[in-house]
């Protein structure tokens, strides 16, 4: 009965958020990826309206847009009506997937529910569960991939003598992880690499085991790329993207574009820890203008201090979890550290934009640490922390909504 109850809680919570959200904040007033360009793309008004809209690094986005357009026509729920119905359902689904992952990792029922409550109350979930594009879908894809990769029967065979079925299953996990944001492919890569060297550094053994697992990784990678290519072809068919430039941009000009983007990114490497923040930064604490091709950076002030502090605590606890997690689950905190390293180069001041990709992993990693250190009190600490964070993050979110309304930073309504 736990999963229906958790699903219902997620749907009710998401429905109240959608009802309170007066449209997605407009281009240049919030974050670069959450703008009316993406709404136009989802509705089929245009394919790639701006160079920085979801494109080459979002392999499944065009397919999602095409499926959405077909489904909205079939159901008669035109415009954003179907999306506003589905986002609460997706919030509930993500909570169920998280609960399932916690139970698969052998947390007790009350511990798993406590960690699910923490996941629901984090700044990433509350801020991004009503926003277009990757914020709703990234946790879904990553939790599905993690459920596959933490299955004992699959991972034990992947590390020894995998069968064609095992490699195909691993390829599916690679494709799912990378389907929404391509850098998330590292979640699947870390699962097969001998990442337990974090605990016991041994360069010679690391090289030896990595070489032994390269054929499995390479074969499954080809399977995953093939699946993503199929997904892309389906997207092209659905929305008639005649340029077929989603993957081509990566090969032809992606490197140059990324180099130019990184060179002009505001912020410092320290801001990368915001990608794991459990307390959301205030919406009105950003500066920058995507209209001028400038990415948005977070101001450093007393109002943003809780976000920075929560990020630092989460990062330190995640690093500590490396001492207690098993080799089978080492890829989960490893993925968080990869995200910090990635955003110390890319993203910087807007790192919180990507927090939905890593929050589930930080909650699981810190939960594994808590189970090893304070097993008898983990659930009560989790529920207490969830209550506090829920109140704080809802207050920050409501303050942001008021600021959006006061400044009229809204996408024009779509009928």
Show me where the domains of the chain are located.
2-407
How confident is residue 359, by pLDDT bands cut at 50, 70 and 90?
A: very high
Q: What is the pLDDT of residue 129?
A: 82
Question: Most confidently modeled of 194-198, 241-245, 264-268?
Answer: 194-198
Is it the case that residue 94 has pLDDT exceeding 80?
A: yes
Pick the closest to residue 47 from 286, 181, 244, 234 (CA basis): 244
CA 180 to CA 59: how far, in whole Å? 6
9's CB contacts (< 8 A; 6+ apart) are 92, 95, 120
On average, the pLDDT of the chain sits at 80
| pLDDT surpassing 90 at residue 320 | yes
Highest mean pLDDT among 158-172, 200-214, 221-235: 158-172
Residue 85's pLDDT band, with cuts at 50, 70 and 90, is confident
Which residues on adjacent β-strands are paired with residue 230? none
| Measured distance CA(129)–CA(136) in Å, rounded | 5
Residue of 393 and 292 predicted with greater confidence:
393
Of the listed ranges 71-80, 344-353, 393-402, the least confidently predicted one is: 344-353
Query: What span, in angstroms and rounded, lies between the C-alpha atoms of 274 and 309?
Result: 9
Closest CA to 137 of 177, 184, 180: 180
How would you write the chain as a 3-class SS string? CHHHHHHHHHHHHHHHHHHHCCCCECCCCCCCCCCHHHHHHHHCCCCCCCCCCCCCCCCCHHHHHHHHHHHHHHHCCCCCHHHHHHHHHHHHHHHHHHHHHHHHCCCCHHHHHHHHHHHHHCHHHHHHCCCCCHHHHHHHHHHHHHHHHCCHHHHHHHCCCCCHHHHHHHHHHHHHHHCCCHHHHHHHHHHHCCHHHHCCCCHHHHHHHHHHHHHHHHHHHHHHHHHHHHHHHHHHHHHCCCCCHHHHHHHHHHHHHHHHHHHCCCCCHHHHHHHHCCCCCCHHHEECCHHHCCCCEECCCHHHHHHHHHHHHHHHHHHHHCCCCCCCCCHHHHHHHHHHHHHCCCCHHHHHHHHHHHHHHHHHHHHHHHHHHCCCCHHHHHHHHHHHHHHHHHHHHHHHHHHHHHHCCECCCCC
Give the pLDDT confidence score for residue 55 in this predicted structure: 55
Is residue 251 predicted with pLDDT exceeding 50? no
Judged against a pLDDT cut of 80, whether residue 264 lies above it is answered with no
Residue 25 dihedral angles phi and psi, to the nearest 5°: -55, 145
If one compares 62 and 241, the residue with the highest pLDDT of the two is 62
Q: What is the pLDDT of residue 248?
A: 43
Predicted confidence at residue 243, as pLDDT, reads: 45
Six-digit token pair at 51?
A: 């160079």
| pLDDT at site 231 | 73
- Confidence at residue 54, expressed as pLDDT on a 0 to 100 scale: 59
**Better-scored residue on pLDDT, 392 or 182:** 392
211-250 tens-digit pLDDT: 777 777 777 777 777 777 767 666 655 655 444 444 444 4
At residue 253, the pLDDT reads 47
Contacts of 325 (CB under 8 A, 6+ apart): 332, 333, 365, 368, 369
339 vs 54, residue with greater confidence: 339
Highest mean pLDDT among 74-78, 145-149, 181-185, 220-224: 145-149
Give percent of the chain with pLDDT exceeding 90.
31
Q: Which of 23-32, 84-93, 265-274 has the lowest mean pLDDT?
A: 23-32
Of 413, 338, 365, 21, nearest to 186 (Cα)?
338
- Predicted pLDDT at 135: 77
Among 16-30, 121-135, 341-355, whose mean pLDDT is lowest? Answer: 16-30
Q: With CA atoms as reference, report the closest residue to 165 among 185, 178, 151, 186.
A: 151
CA neighbours within 13 Å on the CB side: how many for 1? 0
The rounded distance, in Å, linking the Cα atoms of 400 and 4 is 31
pTM of the entire predicted model: 0.83
**Lowest mean pLDDT across 17-21, 293-297, 364-368:** 293-297
The backbone torsions φ and ψ at residue 78, rounded to the nearest 5 degrees and listed phi first, read -75, 165
Which residue carries 């505001």 as its tokens? 266
């Amino acid at each position: 009965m736990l999963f229906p109850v958790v699903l219902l809680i997620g749907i009710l919570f998401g429905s109240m958020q959608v009802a309170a959200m007066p449209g997605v904040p407009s281009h240049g007033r919030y974050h670069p990826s959450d703008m009316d360009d993406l709404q136009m793309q989802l509705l089929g008004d245009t394919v790639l309206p701006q160079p920085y809209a979801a494109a080459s690094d979002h392999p499944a986005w065009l397919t999602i847009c095409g499926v959405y357009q077909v489904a909205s026509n079939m159901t008669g729920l035109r415009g954003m009506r179907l999306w506003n119905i589905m986002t609460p359902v997706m919030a509930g689904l993500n909570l169920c997937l998280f609960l399932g992952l916690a139970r698969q990792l052998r947390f007790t029922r009350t511990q798993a529910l406590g960690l699910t409550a923490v996941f629901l109350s984090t700044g990433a979930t509350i801020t991004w569960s009503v926003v277009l594009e990757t914020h709703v879908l990234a946790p879904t894809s990553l939790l599905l991939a993690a459920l596959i990769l933490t299955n004992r029967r699959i991972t034990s065979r992947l590390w020894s003598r995998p069968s064609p079925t095992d490699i195909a299953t691993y390829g599916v996990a690679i494709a799912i992880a990378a389907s929404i944001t391509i850098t998330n492919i590292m979640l699947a890569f870390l699962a097969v690499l001998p990442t337990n060297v974090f605990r016991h550094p041994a360069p010679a053994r690391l090289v030896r085991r990595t070489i032994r697992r390269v054929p499995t990784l390479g074969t499954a990678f080809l399977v995953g790329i093939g699946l993503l290519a199929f997904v892309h072809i389906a997207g092209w068919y659905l929305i008639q993207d005649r340029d077929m430039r989603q993957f081509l941009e990566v090969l032809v000009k992606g490197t140059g574009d990324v180099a130019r983007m990184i060179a002009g990114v505001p912020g410092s490497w320290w801001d990368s820890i915001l990608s794991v923040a459990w307390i959301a930064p205030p919406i009105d604490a950003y500066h920058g203008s995507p209209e001028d091709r400038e990415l948005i950076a977070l101001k450093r002030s007393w109002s943003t201090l809780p976000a920075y502090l929560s990020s630092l605590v989460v990062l330190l606890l995640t690093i500590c979890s490396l001492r207690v997690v098993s080799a089978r689950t080492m890829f989960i905190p490893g993925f968080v550290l990869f995200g910090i390293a990635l955003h110390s180069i890319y993203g910087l001041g807007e790192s919180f934009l990507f927090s939905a990709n890593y929050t589930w992993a930080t909650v699981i990693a810190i939960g594994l640490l808590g189970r090893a250190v304070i097993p008898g009190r983990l659930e009560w600490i989790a529920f207490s922390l969830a209550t506090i964070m829920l109140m704080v993050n809802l207050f920050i979110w409501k303050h942001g909504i008021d600021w959006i309304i006061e400044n009229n930073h809204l996408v024009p309504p779509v009928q």
